[in-house]
Structure 1
Amino acid sequence: MANKFSDLQAKMKPEAQALAKAKAQAMLAEMPLNELRQARGLSQKMLAEVLHVQQPSIAKMEKRTDMYISTLRSHIEAMGGELEVVARFPDGMVKISNFSDLEKGVAV
């Protein structure tokens, strides 16, 4: 019989638990769009219905390496999120604000 993860986790040293938690948070903080959609419990079909497009459009978009910010924003908002564009520099981060003025609802 398989062990429950919670039982295995309870047997781990506190340091190992903290390391596992930190690694899990790092993995959740960065992921491709298709994994994000799945983590949010959405199918491509469900997301397509929200965006008023066909399911193949979602599959195609999730494979893209380049797209309009407005397209990405509509995809993120359809999943219940909010897109922020942030530039990271060695001396700090800057949130780019001029994309917030873009018209919402641009199709995929």
Structure 2
Amino acid sequence: MTGRTSFSVLRSRMSPESQAQAHEKSLALKGDMALAELRRAMRLSQEELAAALNINQASVAKMEKRTDMYVGTLRRFIQAMGGELDIIARFPDRSIKIDQFGDR
């Protein structure tokens, strides 16, 4: 492995401040994902998710590219991955869970 350095060695060479910044950024990135990224993080293929949703793979691809969809559609997509969807309204002084869109 000439000319290559492991990530752990590179990280150990970083200043404590840089290590802290990198850690904070990685936490922020883990919290924000597009649907396709989330599906990949859950180690699911579009085909597997399509089978769980009883739709075709092309429909999953379309859903992952959409910027707007019904709450019910998004809920089914998340549930097919084994998750649960909560709608939260965030204000400067509090956060409120909106229960109007629950399963009916």
Match of 1:86, SS state, is strand
Find the structure with the greater CA-based Rg: 2
AA in 2 matched with 1:18? A
- SS at structure 1 position matched to 2:97: strand
How many residue pairs match? The answer is 102
Query: 2:58 corresponds to which residue?
Result: 56
In the alignment, structure 2 segments of 5+ residues that lack a partner are none
**Higher RCO, Cα 8 Å, sep 6+:** 1
Unmatched segments (≥5 aa) in structure 1: 104-108
Q: Distance in 2 between matches of 1:8 and 1:80?
A: 36
Identity %: 52
Task: Output the TM-score relative to the length of structure 2.
Answer: 0.88
Q: Aligned AA for 1:4?
A: S
3-state SS in 1 of match to 2:101: helix
Please identify runs of 4+ aligned residues in structure 1 that moved more than 6 A: none
Q: Distance in 2 between matches of 1:4 and 1:49?
A: 39
Q: Distance in 2 between matches of 1:83 and 1:18?
A: 31
- Aligned residue for 1:99, secondary structure, equals coil
Residue correspondence of structure 1 range 35-54 to structure 2 within 5 A = 35-54=37-56
**Structure 1 vs Structure 2 CA RMSD:** 1.3
